[in-house]
Amino acid sequence: MAKRKAPVKKNEEITLTFEDLTHEGNGVGKIDGYPLFVPYALPGEKAVVKVVKVNKNYGFGKLIEVKEPSSNRVEPPCDVFYKCGGCQIQHMSYEMQLKMKQKQVKNVMHKIAHLSDVPVHPTIGMEDPWRYRNKGALPVGEKDGELITGFYRMRSHDIISDMETCVVQDEVNDRMVEAVRRIANRFGITSYDEKKDKGTLRHIMVRTGRKTSEVMIILVTRTEKLPHQKEIVKELTETYPNIKSIIHNINNRRTNVIMGNKTKVIWGEPYIYDTIGDIRFAISAKSFYQINPYQTEKLYEKALEYAEITKDDIVIDAYCGIGTISLFMAQQAKKVYGVEVVPEAVEDGKKNATLNNMTNAEFFVGEAEKIMPWWKKQGLQPDVIVVDPPRKGCDEKLLQAMIDMEPKRIVYVSCNPSTLARDLRILEDGGFQTKEIQPVDMFPQTMHIECVSQLVKKM
């Protein structure tokens, strides 16, 4: 058989029509069946593209000029959209974003889970899909002797120095990062230099409670000491009364991970509060908390609806974080058991149960894949199991424990449709039926997709 050659050469300029979109948000156009992936190209568009990389079975291109724009192409409001790695699809109408996300979920259900008939509902979107993030963590650098903060340029660790605002970030967070940087700069704090592994301030993190407007500031340094700590704290807290907590975290390792192991409260409380529905939550620096509070409420309501809890039901909430879903379920259930691997989050969970006068939720520290089989051995028989794992999905041992426990229903909350589809296949083979899937847009302007799905035990 003749060896197939790529039909394009590097640096060649071609005109291409786009048909599809990858899960990274790249447009896909084909030349004699050979796919070229092009950032910022939209399906339905015709554009001039420069070929930048040629592999055997696919290549990459750069968008040079859109000849026939899609009716869904919009002007991105962010000045640095085309440099920043944070958002991928600000150039796409919101309506198309929602449709595209639903389609992507349908696709993986078909291809990975072999579940072509399961209803995947239209994505639940936001009315105003901007300024939704309640948390920001910005790397700190220096330019012309001044501290700068900004996200990294795509696929690099160069800070975008002309980023003035982030349009998906809560305005309070934007302002607070700016304030901390300005004050730190005045006291001569140096930024951490990744290449030389020198300097002080690595990241400025801010978390805001949307309903309470309480602010937590986390300063991540390489050094044990934060120079001028007293003065910095004084100035921040005297100027900004919403600040309720200032945390100093030390990260002296050469790593991409933002926070290190040592965390000190240097002012105020170790947590801030926020409210979802009727429940109040304390959130500490190291605990996971959903970043889009507007959509979280819709997500949890859907999870609760899918759980169909009655007052005699026993519920397990695996990967429970600070117990948000657990306490939502505990409003209706007889008893909820939560399990979570981060000890600080479990402490928050216990505190949150007390805070809301709930006595029917109990929280355990540990790996869900170890605790669940142990619970099974102890004879725990849940009516409903809720799981909400990180991107990599559920551990196989956990899936097996769920199958062995034979709950009436499973509610699977997922931030990664591919691993969701993989796990649904295993649960289907283990005796459950996927009834429906609801995508919820927790991350507008990005390619990330959140889903809630309901499974029932097959009779």
Which residues sit opposite 73 in a β-bridge? Answer: 92
CA dist., res. 45 & res. 32, Å (int): 17
Q: Contact with ligand SAH (CB under 6 A): which of 239, 390, 431, 436?
A: 390
User: Is 238 a known ligand-binding residue?
Assistant: no
Contact with ligand SAH (CB under 6 A) among 324, 414, 416, 438: 324
Answer for the pair 118, 451: CB distance below 8 angstroms, yes or no: no
100 vs 440, which CB is nearer to ligand SAH?
A: 440
Name the residue nearer to ligand SAH (CB basis): 170 or 369: 369
Contact (CB, 8 A) for 173 and 208: yes
8-state DSSP, 290: -
* 271 annotated as a binding-site residue: no
- Angle (nearest 5°) at CA 199 between 193 and 204: 80
> Are the beta carbons of 185 and 147 closer than 8 angstroms?
yes
What binding mask, one character per residue, do residues 271-310 give for ligand SAH by CB under 6 A, x or -?
A: -----------------xxx--------------------
Q: What residues from 189 to 218 belong to the interface with ligand SAH (CB under 6 A)?
A: none
Closest CA to 287 of 218, 369, 202: 218
- Are the C-beta atoms of residues 70 and 63 closer than 8 Å to each other? no
Amino acid at 143: K
Could you tell me the two tokens for 317?
């909430």
- Which stretch in 44-52, 170-178, 225-233, 320-328 sits in contact with ligand SAH by CB under 6 A? 320-328
Q: Which range touches ligand SAH (CB under 6 A), out of 51-59, 150-158, 316-324, 373-381?
A: 316-324
Q: Would you say 290 or 295 has its CB closer to ligand SAH?
A: 290
Q: Exposure pattern of 70-106 as b/e (b: 16+ CB <10 Å)?
A: bebbbebebebbebbebbbbbbbebebbbbbbbebbb
CB atoms within 10 A of CB 254: 9
In the bound complex, what is the minimum distance in angstroms from residue 89's beta carbon to ligand SAH? 23
- Cβ nearer to ligand SAH, comparing 388 with 441: 388
**452 interacts with ligand SAH by CB under 6 A:** no
Q: Is 321 in the site for ligand SAH (CB under 6 A)?
A: yes
Closer residue to ligand SAH in complex, CB, 92/339: 339
**What residues have CB less than 8 Å from 52, skipping those under 6 apart?**
10, 11, 59, 60, 61, 62
Interface residues for ligand SAH in 330-359 (CB under 6 A)?
A: 339-342, 345
CB of 295 to ligand SAH, least distance (A): 11
Catalytic residues: 415
Is there a binding annotation on residue 319?
A: yes
Give CA–CA dist 317/340, Å, rounded.
Answer: 9
Strands 361-365 and 384-387: unpaired
Q: In the structure encoding, which two tokens stand for residue 117, read together?
A: 């008939």
367 binds ligand SAH (CB under 6 A): yes
20 is in an annotated binding site: no
Q: Does residue 329 belong to the site contacting ligand SAH (CB under 6 A)?
A: no
**Shortest distance (Å) from residue 234 CB to ligand SAH:** 34
Residues of this chain that interact with ligand SAH (CB under 6 A) are 288-290, 319-321, 324-325, 339-342, 345, 367-369, 388, 390
Q: Which residues sit in the known binding site for S-adenosyl-L-methionine?
A: 290, 319, 340, 388
